[in-house]
Amino acid sequence: MSLEELIAQADERGLAASGVACLDRCVPLLGGDDEALRPLWGTLAGGPADGDWGDVLRQTREKLDAAAGEAAGGGCADEAAELARGMLAAAPADRSGPALRVWADGCSAHALRIHQLLDGAGDADLTAARREVRTDGLSPLLAAELRRQTAVLELVAAHGAAGLRSALEVSTEGRRVLRAAVSRRSRRDG
């Protein structure tokens, strides 16, 4: 299935995990550390009414807003950081309903655009990339992000709460890759 189809069919946990995973991979642009989104991941184990998603989301925003001054900047990194801030700002306070699907879809598109910017991948058609199953013609960084997004949705769809640990591992790997890409880009631009 394509990324678009996976998002369309995902349940609330899958949508929330998808959005949090996209944001988690982009945390280096916000000045956050590797544990910045760990509390949000923790709220995904129960149902939407079981956790305190809204409170944890507010605390996460406050923490990342305070860290924003430490984030790397300059050139495309500024645009990428702005997209990541938009992902965090758009997260719905309620972990259910149609707003969650809109947020997960937006996070997917923004995360792909961020990877495209940092890779200098030109003008690949991100809409087509999300609609198709293939990664032919995409830069390695962009293709890997597309595969990670797909993997997170598939893991949570197949395993429910038990798939969250594997989804977090996929996201952690992606965060390391993005951090390296930001570092390379800042050396090249600086």
**pLDDT range class, residue 78, cuts 50, 70, 90:** confident
What is the amino acid identity at position 4?
Answer: E
Q: Which residues of 134-168 are buried (b: 16+ CB within 10 A; e: fewer)?
A: ebeebbebbbbbbebbbbbbbbbbeeeeebbebbb
Which residue would you say has higher pLDDT here, 121 or 166?
A: 166
**In whole angstroms, what is the distance from residue 79 CA to residue 96 CA?**
29
Cα distances (angstroms) measured from residue 18 to each of 54, 73, 80, 107: 17, 26, 19, 8
- In the predicted structure, residue 67 carries a pLDDT above the cut 50: yes
pLDDT in tens, 157-178: 999 999 999 999 999 999 999 9
pTM, 2 dp: 0.92
Using N-to-C axis directions, what is the helix angle for 164-189 and 12-25, rounded to 10°?
30
**pLDDT range class, residue 94, cuts 50, 70, 90:** very high
- In the predicted structure, residue 190 carries a pLDDT above the cut 60: no
Q: Are 23 and 107 in contact (CB under 8 A)?
A: yes
Tokens describing residue 172? 């952690």
Classify the phi-psi angles of 137: left when phi > 0, otherwise alpha if psi is within -120 to 50, otherwise beta.
left
pLDDT in tens, 126-143: 888 899 877 888 889 999
Q: Note the pLDDT of residue 47.
A: 74
